Amino acid sequence: MQQRPLGVRGPAVSVVGLGCNNFGMALDEPEARAVVAAALDAGITHFDTAEGYGGGRSEVMLGSALGAHRDEVVIATKALRRSEAVAWRPGDLARRIEEGCTTSLRRLRTDHIDVYYEHHRDPDAPVEEALGALDHLVQEGKVRVAACSNYAADDIRHAAAAWEAAGWAPLGAVQLHWNLLVRQAEDDVVPAAHAASLGIVPYYPLASGLLTGKYRPGSPFPAGSRFDRLPRFSTVATADNFAAVNRLSAVADTMGHSVGELAIAWLAAQPGVASVIVGATTPEQVRANAHAAEWVLDADELAAVDDAAPR
C-alpha cells in the first residue's frame, strides 16, 4: 500500500484509510477485530475513528484490536462536539476538547493520538479557542498533529491566520465530505486547504454505498444495508445521483474496473489528498478497498470521469 505524507506537517499514512464508524454500531467486537486484521494485512496504516462513533465503542474496539500493532499505525480520532443546548461561555470548548482527548486516550489504550480533529466547527465559540486547546494538547505530547474536520473554507483561512499570529501548533489536516457525487468542496474548501498546506482526507468516498452499484432505482434497499438500517443516509439515492452512478459505472467498465474502485481511485488521484477514508463491515470489503488504491488514473481517465460526473 502506497504511503503519503499527511500535508507538510503530518505523518505518512496509507492512501486508503480504514474508517471505523461501523465499530460498535454495525459490527461487534469479533467482527471489528477481523476487519482491523484484514486492514493490517492489506498494508493499511491509517485508522480513523471518533469519540462519538458507537457511543465510544468504536475507539474501545479499535484500541483492543490493534493491540501490539499500535506503534505501526497512525490513529486519528475526533473530539465530540460541545452541546449546543447550553450557551457557550469562554473556555467551554477548550474544556470539551481536552476532556475528549483524555477519554479517547483511555479508550484507545495509548499515550498519544497521532491526528486529533475538532470533529465539527463550534458555531458559537471562536476558532482561536479550539486552536489554543489543540496546541496545549500538542505541547503536552498527548497529540502529535492537530487537525480540523468539516471546516468551511473561511474557517480554514481564519484558523491559519490565528495560528500564525499566536504561534500555536498549526493544523496539519482537514477531513471533508467529498466524492464523485458531492464535489462542492472543490470550489472552496480544497483550495483553502492547499493554501494552508493541510493534508486532505476525504470521507464517504462511496457515497454511503451508492457508488458501489449495489442499489437500484425503484428497488427496495438490500436488507441490512446502510440505507436499510440508517434511512438518513438514503437521501443521497436521488434520480440524478442514480443517473450519475450509471454513467460512472459505464466509464469504469470500459476501464476494466468497478464503479467503487473508480470512486476511490479518483479521490486518490486528486492533488493534496493524503488518504481516502473508507468504512468496511467485512474483511472482503477491506481487501477490495485496498485493491482500488493500486489503480492510478491517467489524464484521459480523469477527463472521462469529469465528463460523466461534472462538478
Query: What confidence tens digit (pLDDT) does each residue in 272-291 have?
Result: 999 999 999 999 999 999 99
Active site residue 53: yes
In this prediction, residue 245 has a pLDDT band, given cuts at 50, 70 and 90, of very high
Domains of the chain are 3-308 (3.20.20.100)
| CA separation, residue 207 to residues 142, 153, 212, 220, 236 (Å) | 33, 22, 8, 18, 7
* Separate counts of helices (H) and strands (E) for the chain: 11, 10
Which pLDDT does position 213 carry in this prediction?
80
Smallest CA-to-CA distance from 263 within 224, 293, 242 is with 293
Q: Between β-strands 74-79 and 46-48, what pairing exists: parallel, antiparallel or unpaired? A: parallel
Top pLDDT among 78 and 225 is at 78
Distance of CA 235 to the CA centre of its chain: 20
Helix (H/G/I), strand (E/B), else coil: 46: strand
Smallest CA-to-CA distance from 58 within 279, 282, 286 is with 279
Read off the pTM: 0.94
In this prediction, residue 237 has a pLDDT band, given cuts at 50, 70 and 90, of confident
Which pLDDT does position 231 carry in this prediction?
62
Q: Which H or E element spans position 64?
A: helix 57-66
Residue in 53, 117, 151, 215 annotated catalytic: 53
Q: Terminal CA-to-CA distance of the chain, rounded, Å?
A: 29
Q: What angle do CA 64, 264, 47 make, to 5 degrees?
A: 15
| CA separation, residue 199 to residues 13, 39, 49, 173 (Å) | 10, 22, 17, 4
Question: Residues 270, 172, 44, 185: is their CA dihedral positive or negative?
Answer: negative
| CA separation, residue 46 to residues 114, 183, 275 (Å) | 10, 24, 8
| pLDDT for residue 61 is more than 80 | yes
Amino acid in the structure at residue 40: L
Cβ-based neighbours of 248, under 8 Å, separated by 6 or more: 180, 211, 259, 262, 263, 305, 308, 309
Residues for the chain: how many in total?
Answer: 311
Question: Residues 66, 26, 173, 206: is their CA dihedral positive or negative?
Answer: positive
Q: How far apart are CA 62 and CA 74, in angstroms?
A: 12
| pLDDT for residue 232 is more than 80 | no
Which pLDDT does position 12 carry in this prediction?
98
